Amino acid sequence: MQWKVSRPVYGILRVMAMAAVAQAGPHQFNQLYNFEAAVGPSSVTGSGNSLYGATQTGGSRGRGSVYALTAPASHGGPWTYTTLYDFGSSPTDGIYPFAVAIGGISGGLPVLYGTTEGGGQFDKGTVFALVPPQTAGGAWAEHILHSFDGTDGWTPLAPLAVQLRTGQLPILYGTTGQGGASGSGAIFSLTPAATPDGIWTENVL
């Protein structure tokens, strides 16, 4: 089962109580987790019994993180918050992530794709993939798929649209708030390489 809830998050994550995760009455909101600080907007996506999202600030380096919220084993119990990745690990890493989207499953866990507002090779934002570990408890691996240089866009501030393809990596679509030929933003696609370690191809649409 997969489902998606998109809503700005400012300190507190609130999700409508659906039948699949009902812990409150019909048409009520149930607070799942309190971040205790303003962390910026996020788009929350779900797979199995977990929600996945991004915080634009916070994390061990203060430059944002990707997290998972896992449902309790018993009704009414607390959800478990887990940080999957902290941004700013290297000079060319992305910073201030906006959102994540599910683009496949690996070892029973989702492969997450997202954008960062800043960072990257040219400090104008990135598109990244976050791949789950092959063994329980291992570290999630981040891969920078594209660094924006301004001519092809700058400051991506919207969730990616993911075109799933059977037996292949997905094609990603997104927008930037600045840059491009007019300086006012761009719509782009990212197509994976034919080989697993090849370079993804960006096209300004």
DSSP labels, 20-76? GG--S-TT-EEEEEE-SS-----EEEEETTEEEEEESS-STTSS-EEEEEE--SSTT
pLDDT greater than 60 at residue 11: no
Sign of CA dihedral 149, 97, 158, 146: positive
End-to-end Cα spacing for the chain: 32
pLDDT greater than 60 at residue 6: no
What is residue 74's predicted lDDT score, i.e. its pLDDT?
A: 86
pLDDT greater than 90 at residue 73: no
Mean pLDDT of the chain: 84
Helix ranges (H only) for the chain are none
Q: What percentage of the chain reaches a pLDDT higher than 70?
A: 83
Over range 117-126, report the average pLDDT.
Answer: 96
> According to the per-residue pLDDT averaged within each range, which of 28-32, 49-53, 141-145 is highest?
141-145
pTM of the model: 0.84
What is residue 24's predicted lDDT score, i.e. its pLDDT?
A: 47
Tell me the two tokens of residue 20: 């699949």
What is residue 107's predicted lDDT score, i.e. its pLDDT?
A: 86
Sign of CA dihedral 131, 90, 147, 55: positive
CA distance 86 to 101: 17
> Does residue 21 sit in helix, strand or coil?
helix
**Half-sphere CA count of 1, side-chain side, radius 13 A:** 8
Over range 130-141, report the average pLDDT.
Answer: 92
pLDDT greater than 50 at residue 8: no
